[in-house]
Structure 1
Amino acid sequence: MSILPRIIKPAIFGALVLTSLPGWAEPELELTSVINTAIENDPWLRQSARMQDALMEESYADGALPDPRVTIGAANLPTDTFDTGQEGMTQATIGFSQRIPRGDSRHLASEKKTRLADVQPFRRENRREQVTERVTHLWLELWRSQESIRLIEDKRGLFEQLSDVAEAGYTSATMGSRQQDIIRASLELTRLEDRLAALNTQLASNRESLGEWIGAEAAQLPVTGQIPPELSTGLPDRWRETNIDGLIRHPSIRATDQLIDAQAIDVDLARQAYKPEWSVFAQYGYRDRAPNGQDRADLFSVGIGFDLPIFTGNRQDRKLRSSTARLEAARSERILKMRDLQARARAAMARMEQLDDRIRLYRQTLLPQMEEQASAALTAYDNDDGDFAEAVRARIDELNAQVELTQILAERAKSLASFRYLTANSSEDPSLKLPNHQD
């Protein structure tokens, strides 16, 4: 028996099995995975963690006593002979001193660094929310460009058919086609090519921007064909009026609160300057024997020292007023940040309401009317009862409306992503939560 059938039969069977299986789907960029990758690869988060570690180490260091000071010297040497045994007061000395900072300044300095370290977790949380917003906007721009290209490429076949119909009618002279109809059809195809070129340019630019966060190679993959449900859902009625109490839990506000606490410690540190700084010292002096061989007693000294902060007008008072002013400035900055978040959240809410109205108008009225108009114009032209230019114009208007709806959907999703950032941690409503990502 020939070996050829033994090879061909299994090959045919394998081909039939493979063709019966669903085709391998091309990998796509899902928004959640893009966000997770961007956050995981963000070097700013690692920098913040290192900064927190550095501040905690400084906190321990600032809470410790200053290093003691040791002095070694010779005292009361006679300048005529420099003989250590000539005078009874000549001695070799070794001393020890320890400075004790003012009041509670060590504890307060340590506490300040701890508060500054506590700022970093909130800054990282805010950064993750910012990255989520930024990457979501870039993903939506990719989706908008990709979906617009898909719509135009789907319609290009129709315009090619119209061009063929016009050319066939002109050639056969049975449909009343004119040369200008052929030119018009060719012109619209050229315009479509130009729009595709412009959209592909935008698509390439958006891919490069997204590549900064997830890598250039990954950014070349297409995005999923639909906007994720969490970016297309509506908002509860209770969010129609964004309140300040909800925004207090925003990570940027909580970071500001920690900075205010650190500024308050600066005020307490300035008050410590009114207290004296103490020091203790001890000194041992060795004396050589007298010229006659008599032993001399060694000497030991001990004492304390402190400064007198009595002239406070140009130093302590001014530093206290300066620290108090900085504290009030930080509190004012917090109020301004709260107002900014609230205003931007309400602006995003207003944009979403207007875009929702436009989306309903397009889906319920405008697109059905344009599709009906385009079909009627094409039918009239086929029945030699309409103008070719009108049929083409109706199809172009329908395509433009579909592309415009794509842009509106992307803008609405971007507004919701911004609203989510502005109201981060302000609600436990699942519809307002961001896609899951790892801290």
Structure 2
Amino acid sequence: MSNGTLAMSMPRVRWPWLLSCALLLLMMSAAATPAAPADEQPAQDSAAKESAENGLTIEAAVSLATSAADPSVTRFSVRAQALDSEAVADSQLPDPMVSAQVMNVPVDTFSLDQEGMTQALRLGLRQEFPAGRTLDVRGRQRNAEAEAERARRDEALRRIALETRTAWLELAWQRRAVDVLQQSRGRIEQQIESLQSRFATGGLNAQSLLRSELELSLLDDRIAEHRRMAENARAALARYIGSEAYRRVPDGLPEFELGSTQLDQLERHLVDHPEITARQSLAEAADQGIELARQAYKPKLAVEAGYGFRSERPDLASIGVSLTVPLFTGQRQDKRHEAAVQRSRAAQFELDNRLRDLRRQLDEALSDWLRYQERIALYEQVVNQRAEQTVEASITTYANGQTDFAELIRSQLAALDVQIKQAELAARAGKAWARITYLVGEQS
């Protein structure tokens, strides 16, 4: 009998008793289960819903990576703080020197009141002043070095964004390849099952069946390889965002746009690249080194004051000034100035060399972007359509007995390769866009 028949045959008098038992059980379970606080339960539901529904987009991954306290970024901030402190310290006068002496004591009696020139105690204070504007120049030199470290911090953030985008794009297209391969595997597996039934009835030779099973095994190998590369990309992503890298990635790859595709216009932004800013700050610090070497040609100054106590005669006071006389500068000041000039030239050469490297990288990235866009358009407008037409024609000819099953499989695999290649081209174009963004900054 059906369940409905059983329900209708039960005595009606038992229904109120069953309802009462059910209500009692519900009340007991509600009392035994601790309820979440009113302010926490909606938050938990919202977090669970967000985790389940929202995938990890590329910009969400970049936001997580750049907002994390990454050691590769923090180290530059710490160095900048250290140089800021050194800038303050190097701008201060040297500590004054205090002296205490017993002077002109007769050595025959060692009496402090035997001779009038004996000073029972002489206190002195000496303050040295570095040559010229040495203190100011040292402070500005350290400040320039601190600015270089801050620029390196900004460059590290850009590089983290670049590597995060690259890893995300690699993960996205590898997952897309796995999905496409698994869908195709399911279709080929169904076709093999139909072939096996035909083979069992003698309507198909063993070669076609073995060829189909071989293609299925090769698909399994490709799926395993793409999964391996996807796991490697996820590991690279987890380097910057931790466990967030294991969130679901959206199915489709995003579309990227450039504010300009003119190389000369994009090159104007290279001078604002953090690495160039850092090199400029280091070149400025080297220029301050030249100015510091020039200050060595000026005399150093020292002021000293003293007060001597005598036992029976009036106390003695003294004050004086000491100066260094840089007369023989050929082997000291001149050589230091020459070395500072050479360091400044080297810093400028490093700046020019790095700017040329960035221009080369920008030229390559822009060329990649433009060529990948052309190939993507070709696939969307021509290749996809041709692949679909080839599959349809193969199905028709196979149904009419004009071709074998191997040709049908080859046409389906060719269409499969087209889908995977299109996803790969989209990812490569995105990586080129990420490199351009790293070089010229975010463009509106």
TM-score range, shorter chain: 0.7 to 0.9
Q: Which runs of 5+ in 1 are unaligned?
A: 12-21, 289-294, 431-439
Q: Which position in structure 1 is the counterpart of 2:101? A: 73
Give the counterpart letter for 1:56 in structure 2: D
Cα deviation digits, residues 13-55 of structure 1 (max 9, x gap):
xxxxxxxxx9994542111121111111123333333322222
Match of 1:143 in 2: 172
Judge conservation of contact 2:260–2:266 (CA < 8 Å) in 1: no
Q: In the alignment, is residue 83 of structure 1 matched against residue 121 of structure 2?
A: no
Give the aligned partner of residue 186 of structure 1.
Answer: 213
Residue type at the aligned position of 1:218: E
Name the structure 2 match of 1:2.
Answer: 16
Q: Distance in 1 between matches of 2:229 and 2:105?
A: 87
Give the counterpart letter for 1:43 in structure 2.
P
Out of 110, 117, 126, the residue aligned to residue 155 of structure 2 is 126
In 2, Cα distance between equivalents of 1:254 and 1:354: 31
1:155 — aligned with what? 184
Helix, strand or coil: the match of 2:215? Answer: helix
Letter in 1 for 2:306: Q
Alignment counterpart, residue 200 of structure 1, candidates 210, 219, 227: 227
- Where does residue 49 of structure 1 map in the other structure? 77
Alignment pair present for 1:273 and 2:324: no
Spell out, residue by residue over 1:386-407, the C-alpha distance to the aligned partner (whole angstroms, 9 max, x if none).
Answer: 1111111111111112111111
1:393 aligns with 2:380: no
Q: CA RMSD in A?
A: 2.2
Instruction: Work out which of the residue numbers 247, 251, 254 in structure 1 matches 2:277.
Output: 254
* Counterparts of 2:436 and 2:343, CA distance in 1: 31
Name the CA shift for 1:335/1:183 in 2 (closer, same or farther; >3 Å). Answer: same
CA distance in 2, matches of 1:380, 1:268: 85
After superposing the two structures, state which structure 1 stretch, 253-262 or 273-282, moved more: 253-262
Residue 356 of structure 1 is matched in structure 2 by 373
Q: Give the Cα–Cα distance (whole angstroms) in 2 for the partners of residues 235 and 387 of structure 1.
A: 51
Aligned to 1:18: none
Which residue in the other structure is 1:435 paired with?
none
Match status 1:307 vs 2:324: yes
Change in CA separation of 1:246 and 1:308 when aligned onto 2, cut-off 3 Å: same
- SS across alignment from 2:272: coil
Deviation at 1:141, TM superposition (A): 0.8
**1:325 equivalent among 342, 353, 375:** 342
How many equivalent pairs are there?
403
Structure 2 residue ranges without an equivalent (≥5): 1-14, 27-48
Please give the alpha-carbon distance, in whole angstroms, between the structure 1 residues aligned to 2:418 and 2:347.
49
User: What TM-score, normalized to structure 2?
Assistant: 0.86
2:198 paired residue among 169, 189, 205: 169
Q: Distance in 2 between matches of 1:356 and 1:85?
A: 101
Q: Which amino acid aligns with 2:251?
A: G
1:43-96: CA deviations, max 9, x gaps? Answer: 333333332222222222211111100011212222233222233222221110
Q: Which of 50, 53, 57 in structure 2 is aligned with 1:30?
A: 57
Shift of 1:416: 0.8
Q: Quick one: distance in 2 between partners of 1:284 and 1:275?
A: 30
Alignment of 1:216-295 (within 5 A): 217-229=243-255, 231=256, 233=257, 236-237=260-261, 239-242=262-265, 244-288=267-311, 295=312
Alpha-carbon distance between aligned partners in 2 of 1:267 and 1:4, rounded to the nearest angstrom: 97
Aligned residue for 1:227, secondary structure, equals coil
Percent of matched pairs sharing the same residue: 30
Evaluate the alpha carbon distance shift between residue 240 and residue 184 of structure 1 in structure 2; reply closer, same or farther with a 3 A threshold.
Answer: same
Tell me which of 34, 38, 61 is aligned to 2:89. 61
Cα distance in structure 1, aligned partners of 2:134 and 2:17 = 94
Q: Which amino acid aligns with 2:58?
A: L
SS of the residue corresponding to residue 102 of structure 1 reads coil
C-alpha separation in 2, matches of 1:191 and 1:124 = 47
Residues 240 and 106 (structure 1 numbering): CA distance in 2 closer, same or farther, change over 3 Å?
closer
In structure 1, what residue type is equivalent to 2:370? E
Using structure 1 for the length normalisation, give the TM-score. 0.86
| C-alpha deviation, 1:376, in angstroms | 1.6
